[in-house]
Amino acid sequence: MRVVTAIDSLKGSLSSMEAGSAVREGILRACAEAEVEIRPLADGGEGTVEALVGGMNGEIQRVTVTGPLGKPVTCEYGIIEDTKTAIIEMSGAAGITLLAPKERNPLHTTTYGVGEVIRDAIEKGCRRFIVGIGGSATNDGGIGMLQALGFDFLNAAGEQVRYGAEGLSELVSVSADHVIPGLAECEFKVACDVTNVLCGEQGSSAVYGPQKGATPSMIIQMDEWLGRYASLAQKSFPKADPMYPGTGAAGGLGFAFLTFTNAVLESGIRIVLEETRLEDYVKEADLVITGEGRLDGQTAMGKAPVGVAELAKKYGKPVIAFAGSVTKDARACNEKGIDAFFPILRGVTTLDEAMEPQNARANMADTAEQVFRLIHAFRA
């Protein structure tokens, strides 16, 4: 029996590859002759660097960059040497989890560090980029990132504007005259699963500003500033389109990528499935296994396990999912290609105990073993 695993990370417990390894251990206990191929899985958000680097023989890079409030932070990203591809999560340099709740203020938070990570990767020879832009603390329209890459965002005195959304308030001109060498050769696949536009009721300020610390008055101001920024950009950069779906992602970082770089916005899971060539493995499999930390109704809305299931059903392959926990509305996953799913908890426990990596690994392996003992019994 040929089995392919592609399991999203169980955050705080197991990485994607660790979860797959635990499943393989359980399968082989029940069916020693099984061939189990472990493939990485992520949705373009948290865990994407770890999954793709671990599953594609990449290397983790560590670089000190400007954090969301201007203080240095160490950001990890990955490089796949064979294809000179950099795997970056913007949250590592400008994420909301880098700030305490009382520190969140989008007037001041910047994406400058994201540009520094990209610049580091360019200097190391990368020309292909996969960038996850979820979890941002920023609403600066991506100008911080672009400043780090050499773009000029100038005020009336001819100086670079300040960090954060407040820098947009003093912006009078935009220029690409001093962009770093190599950027024009780069291609960016930006993992984006939201369709918000840059401005307006469905724009970045109105929809995501509150969770980043914005007050109602800030939201009105930032929306106006982003509109002026977009108008300025349109004068010199023909790709600028603030109404394009996804331009409002990550506080306007989607707009920055589309307008000023050679970028496309794509579903995070689609990017990951393409980069890991999961389809090639699914074609040859007898059974596909997926899963994540919590399987629920949101999973059925298009999260990573359902992306795997849809791919498997393209070739008529059965799909099983394992999860740390499942909810009643997880039944919706059965309608999206997951034939059966199983929670891995095997007794009454606390959340902390369940999430302990050693316990999570044992529970995953033991659950997989029992499922495959049943499969083996019916195949015998």
CATH number at residue 361: 3.40.50.10350
Helices (H) and strands (E) in the chain, counts: 14, 13
Boundary of a domain, candidates 269, 300, 334: 269
Residues in CB range of 116: below 8 A, 6 or more apart? 63, 65, 66, 93, 148
Give the per-residue pLDDT at 211: 93
- Report, as ranges of residue numbers, the positions in the chain whose pLDDT lies below 70: none
Whether residue 218 is found in the same domain as residue 253: yes
Give the per-residue pLDDT at 379: 82
Whether residue 35 is found in the same domain as residue 52: no
Give the per-residue pLDDT at 11: 85
Overall number of domains in the chain: 2
Give the per-residue pLDDT at 51: 87
Tell me the whole-structure pTM to 2 decimals.
Answer: 0.88
Residues in CB range of 81: below 8 A, 6 or more apart? 57, 58, 59
Which domain, by its residues, includes 20? 2-39+286-379
Whether residue 128 is found in the same domain as residue 107: yes
Whether residue 237 is found in the same domain as residue 373: no
Give the per-residue pLDDT at 366: 97
The answer to whether the beta carbons of residues 286 and 376 sit under 8 Å apart is no
Whether residue 93 is found in the same domain as residue 153: yes
Ordered strands of the 287-295 beta sheet: 35-39, 2-7, 287-295, 319-326, 340-343
In a domain, 315, yes or no: yes
Domain of 123, CATH number, reads 3.90.1510.10
Whether residue 63 is found in the same domain as residue 185: yes
Q: Give the orientation angle of helix 268-276 with respect to helix 48-55, to 10 degrees.
A: 10
The DSSP 8-state label assigned to residue 8 in this structure reads -
In a domain, 279, yes or no: no
Q: How far apart are CA 59 and CA 77, in angstroms?
A: 8
In a domain, 97, yes or no: yes
Whether residue 232 is found in the same domain as residue 303: no
In a domain, 6, yes or no: yes
